[in-house]
Amino acid sequence: MKYKQAEKLGEPLGSGAIESTCRQLQCRMKRCGQFWSTQGDEALLCLEMFWRNEHWDLLFPHVTITALSGN
């Protein structure tokens, strides 16, 4: 990694954020009794990233989300 360049740009230097995200996704995808094909796994991860990055409207532009439950 280019730590000095990243520091100048104000980017995070540690791996904590990435490790945390991986842990959250692993907990979601590796539950008891769940088995995923590579294609299914990639599709669910894609949906999860659209949701987390608040780009759900790009997938479903005709739907308006007015309230979220469970968050």
Is 18:12 a contact under the CB 8 Å cutoff?
no
| pLDDT tens digits for range 10-57 | 888 888 888 888 888 887 778 888 888 889 888 888 888 888 888 888
| pLDDT tens digits for range 23-33 | 888 877 788 88
Q: Is residue 64 part of a domain?
A: no
* Total residues found in the chain within this entry: 71
Q: Is residue 69 part of a domain?
A: no
Q: Is residue 68 part of a domain?
A: no
* C-alpha triplet 24, 63, 49: angle, nearest 5°: 20
Q: What is the pLDDT of residue 23?
A: 86
Residue 64 has pLDDT above 80, yes or no: no
Looking at the structure of the chain, the number of domains it has is 1
3-state DSSP assignment of residue 55? coil
Give the residue numbers spanning the domain of 13: 3-59
* DSSP classification of residue 61: T
pTM equals: 0.54
Q: Is residue 22 part of a domain?
A: yes
Instruction: State residue 61 phi and psi, 5-degree precision.
Output: -65, -20
